[in-house]
Homo-oligomer: A and B are copies of this chain.
Amino acid sequence: MDPYAAAERLDGRIHRTPILGCTALDRWAGRSLALKCENLQKTGSFKIRGATNAVLRLPPGVQHVIAASSGNFGQALALAAREAGLRCTVVVPRDAPAVKMAAMRGYGAELVLCEPTLEGRRSTLKEQVAATGAQEMPSFDHPHVIEGQGSVAVELLQQVPGLDSVIAPIGGGGLIGGIALACRDTGVRVFAGEPFGADEAWRSKKAGVRIQEPNPETVVRDHVEAVVRVTDEEIVEAMKLCWERAKLVIEPSAAVALAAAKKLPADCHDVGVVLSGGNVDLGALPF
């Protein structure tokens, strides 16, 4: 897994997203924050990185890809496949938001609806693979996806020399795993943000073993300094502050990283915060 090679592979195919700063956020966090704006990325999240890298690393001859997703990864794969000239099918729970389905179709994907259960998703995916011969794509724990996500840190370190730390939401582990890989030999400290109530990563880190699938890679265990947990109130506060003062629309997972950035050790002075995405339903805001 090489996030640096992935960054070169992705160059020109995805946005090199800007770094923004905000004095009000710096004051709030008590440190200097470099906001890596993956909310401004194609498809509205970092997931286009892993999806595009994985598509580009497919064996020759693959014409059709398939994955199960209700959200950002489905959009990312749909666009990555279209750009590569591949057919794309996404298995979607039938109660997924209509706006997300419309976005996937907008990027040219064919949707197959399934029961909104893990079993429904698995069996429908299996049927579709059998029926179409499509290549199944993993969503977050495959090396090609992880190294693709890590390209965000490669860019961040190039764009902001002198960072002492980077923080990102832990999610499924692919993003933070890729970031940890990219930062491994740089001396830059890597932290993960995680909501209380979704704290598998925190418990895995403490236990030193994987608690549960899906979970972060061992690279997280070995190269992430700490998993910083945040409350729902802290997430909403960070999200509102980002909208109001930084004028950036971010989704809750990005707000997790921002909220956690405020709670880092006092000697984290120059922190890169990966604002992982901006896909949010404006009709269902928490404020």
Contact assessment for A42 and B18 in the assembled complex, using a CB-CB cutoff below 8 Å: no
Quick one: which of A23-57 are within 8 Å of B by CB?
23, 37, 39-40, 42, 44
Residues 220 to 265 of chain A near chain B (Cβ within 8 Å)? 240, 243-250
A93 within 8 A of B: no
**Inter-chain contacts of A216 with B (CB < 8 A):** none
Copies of this polypeptide in the complex: 2
Asked if A131 CB lies within 8 Å of chain B CBs, one says: no
Residues of chain B with a CB closer than 8 A to A285's CB: 282
Interfacial chain B residues near A245, Cβ < 8 Å = 44
Given contacts A20-B18, A287-B283, contact A247 B244 (CB under 8 A): no
Instruction: Output the nearest chain B residue to A106 by Cβ-Cβ distance.
Output: B24
Residues of B close to A148: CB separation below 8 A: none
> For residue A244, which residues in chain B have a CB less than 8 angstroms away from its CB?
249, 282
Contact indicator per residue, chain A 1-38, by CB within 8 Å of chain B (1) or not (0): 00000000000000000101011000000000000010
A189 to chain B, nearest CB (A): 27
Whether, in the assembled complex, A272 has its beta carbon less than 8 Å from a beta carbon of chain B, the answer is no
Complex partner residue of A20 from B40, B42, B246, B287, CB under 8 angstroms:
B40
Rounded to whole angstroms, the CA-CA distance of A37 and B37 in the bound complex is 14
Q: Complex Cα distance A246/B40, Å?
A: 7
A1 and B37 CA atoms in complex are apart in Å by: 37
A243 to B22, CA, bound (A): 18
CA distance A81 to B35 in the complex (A): 28
Q: Does A278 contact B (CB under 8 A)?
A: yes
Could you tell me if A282 and B278 are in contact, using CB atoms closer than 8 angstroms? no
A20: chain B residues at CB < 8 Å are 18, 40
- Over the window 144-176 of chain A, the binary record of Cβ atoms lying under 8 Å from chain B Cβ atoms (1 yes, 0 no) is 000000000000000000000000000000000
B44, B247, B283: the one contacting A248 at CB < 8 Å is B247
Closest Cβ of chain B: how far from A102's Cβ, in Å?
A: 12
Q: How far is the CA of A278 from the CA of B247 in the complex (A)?
A: 6
Known A-B contacts A18-B18, A18-B20, A20-B18; A40 and B287 likewise in contact (beta carbons under 8 Å): no
Q: List 10 A-B contacts (CB under 8 A).
A: A18-B18, A20-B40, A23-B42, A37-B247, A39-B247, A40-B246, A40-B247, A247-B248, A247-B250, A282-B287
Residues of A bordering B, CB below 8 Å: 18, 20, 22-23, 37, 39-40, 42, 44, 240, 243-250, 278, 282-283, 285, 287
